[in-house]
Structure 1
Amino acid sequence: MAKDLMLGIIGGMPADASMRQMQRAVDECFQARYRSHEAGIRVFADEPVERLQVNAVVYSARRHEAWLFGDCQIMVNGVQTPTTKDVDVLLGDLRAFTVLALREMQDGTPDVPISGSFGAPASDAAPKDPSRAMILPFLRLQSQFANKRGPFGYFVFDGFTDMTYPIRTVPVSPGDEVVLASDGYPLLRPTLDESERELQRLRSEDPDLIDRYRSTKGFQGRATFDDLTYLRFIA
């Protein structure tokens, strides 16, 4: 729902819209959806984990710049702008810890099955990844830092953003080669083919995503571990 609303907002913005106009339009749209919900807007104001959440990188051709709302990625002329969140590093390390600890338990007691979702509903766990279920309480706690300043704070469109939050703005000049991508391509490269090869190499060499690239979830037999969006163009 958040993605569909976001696409509608971007498509309806005037060409000369500013970064803050874009941010305000998303907030207003999301809050209108909350007010129309039977639970009422107060639930979403008080419980960040219940909110719509979406990130985006938006390119303004008129203003010759791109806006990094959250952890989507951009590369201009082969130079990538870092967007990794501190909280993602922390929880990626925590999941790597749980994966390795569970392996040690299995090595020590091979006849004891590993389940232990620590109270998390079974539906929230990936089929073969109990570590995901074990860190789920921390993933839910993460929402407390949404749009907050400080070491674990991060920006996310949720209807309650800070209009003074520092948004990375990347200048783009005519003739620049630009890549916009979601974080499903953790090893971003200047072409889609190269990025896909890196993704498949990662899947082969580190399928649990605890070594070369630490994530809060692994491939678990799938072709990818996260959403994949990749766009390359000449400005």
Structure 2
Amino acid sequence: MLNIQESHCESKTGTLDNVEDTFLVTPDFAAVIDGASNVSNQLIAGKTPGQHAAVLTKEAIVELNGPESIEEIITAINAKFQIFYHEHSMVEEVLKKPFIRPSAVMSLYSHYHRKIWMIGDCQCYVDGVNHQHLKEVDLITSQARAMLIESQLAQGKTVQEIMDNDTSFDQIVPLLQRQYQFQNRPPNERFSYEVINGFPMYTESIKAVDVPAHVTSFSMGSDGYPRLFDSLSETEQYLEKILTIDPLCIKENSAIRGLSKERISYDDRTYIKVTIKDAMEDTFPGEFNREINEGETILEQTSRKR
């Protein structure tokens, strides 16, 4: 049994109507899903492609039974996307223009397998370790934006002046559109990366993190956080610290966006802390809370925090 101990989902603009992240926790799965930024400047039925991708992925996971392998899970999600493409008459268009495809990345925990699968640039915090799954194309595009910003600083513009009129994202959109050509390419290709978009994926590119039997809680988050910690407060405090040091997001936290008068952060962000409650505990609560190993307990009691 899985329960949410802490959760937070926030748009980069501070308005939840346009957030492209989502999360879910069922008895068998927990997931943080991050819809890709809109680089086509197009909406589909009033929503961004990333919003649709997050919802389609979430709907597919809710319908799973529990024991599915990651290959089976991807197949189920892709089926949702293909139906969506047909319903919106997009089949030919998404083949010709990959950058308009609804796309998402995800951290997904399977309680049956006791694994967290990391598809694309997402992260998790397990047993004291922050695991990230970065991709090279993001480094290139964020560095290109950093160069554009640095050139303005060299010309004498102040940080505040740039934040008041930051056009750097628009300038790197052609690069961002180009990177869609590398989605779900063979893993031996330099710029390839895996993403959920309704098309076949090389699952060997997916990073898997084991959740050991002694672990009773873990955290997952989107890349709207520079890194994750054991608690939401620590994770938020670190984000605030980084944004104070590097508000343009060109140094300590290089990104495709920075702070501006329209944005309270560089990206949408989602954090969940999940507790694992073994079904046997409900039957034998005393047995499962007995002290072992010099004071450690098999299952620590935790309080739900919002």
TM-score by length of 1: 0.86
1:39-54 equivalence runs, <5 A: 40-54=90-104
- Hey, what does 1:94 align to over in structure 2? 144
**Which of 143, 155, 167 is the equivalent residue of 2:194?**
155
Label 1:139 to 1:163 Cα distance change in 2 as closer, same or farther (>3 A): closer
- Residue 132 of structure 1 corresponds to 169
1:18 aligns with 2:62: no
Deviation at 1:17, TM superposition (A): 1.2
Contact 1:20 1:163 in 2 (8 A): no
Match of 1:220 in 2: 260
Whether the aligned pair in 1 keeps the contact of 2:169 and 2:256 (CA below 8 Å) is yes
Match for residue 55 of structure 1 among 105, 109, 131: 105
User: How much has 1:8 moved relative to structure 2?
Assistant: 0.8
- Give 2:176's aligned amino acid: L
Residues 146, 155 of structure 1: 8 Å contact kept = yes
The equivalent position to 1:70 in structure 2, one of 120, 134, 141, is 120
AA aligned to 1:212 is: E
CA RMSD between the two structures:
2.0
The aligned counterpart of 1:202 is 242
What is the letter of the counterpart of residue 31 of structure 1? Q
Matched-pair identity in %: 29
2: CA distance, partners of 1:32 / 1:56: 20
In the alignment, structure 2 segments of 5+ residues that lack a partner are: 1-51, 277-306
SS, match of residue 199 in structure 2 = coil
Whole-angstrom CA distance in 1 between matches of 2:246 and 2:181: 30
Aligned residue in 1 for 2:83: 32
Quick one: distance in 1 between partners of 2:112 and 2:55? Answer: 24
> Displacement, 1:187?
2.6
Partner of 2:285: none
Q: Is the 8 A contact 2:123 2:223 kept in 1?
A: yes
Aligned in 2, Cα 1:43/1:172: closer, same or farther, shift over 3 Å?
same
Deviation at 1:209, TM superposition (A): 0.3
Unpaired runs of at least 5, structure 1: 115-125
Amino acid at match of 1:199: L
**Deviation at 1:164?**
4.4
Residue of 79, 96, 108 corresponding to 2:129? 79
Counterpart position of 1:186: 226
Aligned AA for 1:181?
Answer: G
Partner of 1:119: none
Residue number in structure 2 paired with 1:122: none
Report which of the two has the higher share of strand: 2
Partners of 1:20 and 1:74 in 2: how far apart? 20
- Deviation of 1:128 (Å): 2.1
| Alpha-carbon distance between aligned partners in 2 of 1:106 and 1:27, rounded to the nearest angstrom | 49
Aligned to 1:169, which of 205, 208, 221? 208
What letter is aligned with 1:226?
D
What is the identity, as a one-letter code, of the residue corresponding to 1:230? Answer: Y
Deviates most, 53-62 or 128-137: 128-137
Contact kept? 2:166, 2:260, Cα under 8 Å: yes
Cα deviation 1:70-91 (Å, max 9, x = unaligned): 1111111111223111111111
Q: What code does the residue aligned with 2:195 have? A: V
Please show how residues 94-113 of structure 1 align to structure 2 within 5 Å: 94-106=144-156
